[in-house]
Amino acid sequence: MTARDDAAPARLVVLISGRGRNLEAIQGAIEDGRLNARIVLVVSNKTRAPGLQFARLAGLPTVAIQPRQFADRQSYDAALAHRVAAARPDWVVLAGFMRVLSPAFVDPFAGHIVNIHPSLLPLYKGLDTHDRALAAGDSHHGASVHLVTPALDDGPIIRQGRIRIRPTDTTETLAGRITDRIEKKLYAAALADLIEARVHVAPDGTLIDAAGRAYTPPVEDYD
């Protein structure tokens, strides 16, 4: 047993809005011992998110918090933060969570929220990333796991995965490979980097390595 093996599993709260493929991949990594963590709560803004069904079948606690029950974004985000905080997360994991989060949510968990974005950030923040990479004629495309800050898709990068764009690629084929080849593995690998302290969040919000130097995120080819 190494020291970290008997460390208490990191507590993860995972936020989803849709299919939850990233949620499934993280739970799979936990179950096969690649990630020393435990998903203590799955939260969705959609009561019928298919990922909630997976979570229930996997025996994970779930809750859906609907925006329309709140007067505005600020009160929704505050209520969401309160519910997430009650689960005492070590890491708040955005996994296909399709709402922009205001400081009312981000601030209480600053430095402890991560997100996966389907592009090689800082390229293509925001939506339609696959279309934009294809339109630009890029040679590669990929996904990035990054710390969440109030600015959209803008926080320090923890780990990236990339694949070559094929001449025959469409939005669908490219998105499919990003999901199936990269995202399935990338999120758990990035969370392991954090949980196993290969990367730390410095007081100023930047990432540093175990020796305290500026962190250079790995960019791996998943072709």
Under the rule (CB under 6 A), what is the footprint of ligand GRF?
16, 18-23, 51, 95-96, 116-118, 143, 183
Is residue 141 part of the annotated active site? The answer reads no
3-state SS assignment for residue 162 = strand
What are the structure tokens assigned to 80, written together? 């969401």
Of residues 189 and 208, the one with the C-beta less far from ligand GRF: 189
Helices (H) and strands (E) in the chain, counts: 7, 10
Minimum distance, C-beta of residue 143 to ligand GRF, in the bound complex (Å)? 6
Cβ 175 to ligand GRF, closest distance in Å? 7
39, β-bridge pairs:
12
**CB of residue 214 vs ligand GRF: minimum separation in angstroms?**
26
Of residues 84 and 177, the one with the C-beta less far from ligand GRF: 177
Catalytic residue, candidates 82, 112, 117, 200 = 117
| Least distance from ligand GRF to the Cβ atom of residue 137, Å | 21
Complex with ligand GRF: residue 100 or 210, whichever CB lies closer: 100
Minimal CB distance residue for ligand GRF: 96
Nearest to 192 by CA among 6, 9, 2, 61: 9
The residue (of 81 and 94) whose beta carbon lies closer to ligand GRF is 94
SS3 content of the chain, % helix, strand, coil (to 5): 35, 25, 40
Within the chain, where are the H helices? 21-31, 50-57, 73-86, 103-106, 129-136, 171-177, 184-195
CB of 123 to ligand GRF, least distance (A): 14
Q: Which is nearer to ligand GRF, 123 or 208 (CB)?
A: 123
What are the angstrom distances between the C-alpha of 101 and each of 6, 74, 75, 113, 154? 34, 9, 11, 11, 13
Contacts of 24 (CB under 8 A, 6+ apart): 51, 54
Contact 44, 67 (CB under 8 A): no
Enumerate the active-site residues. 117
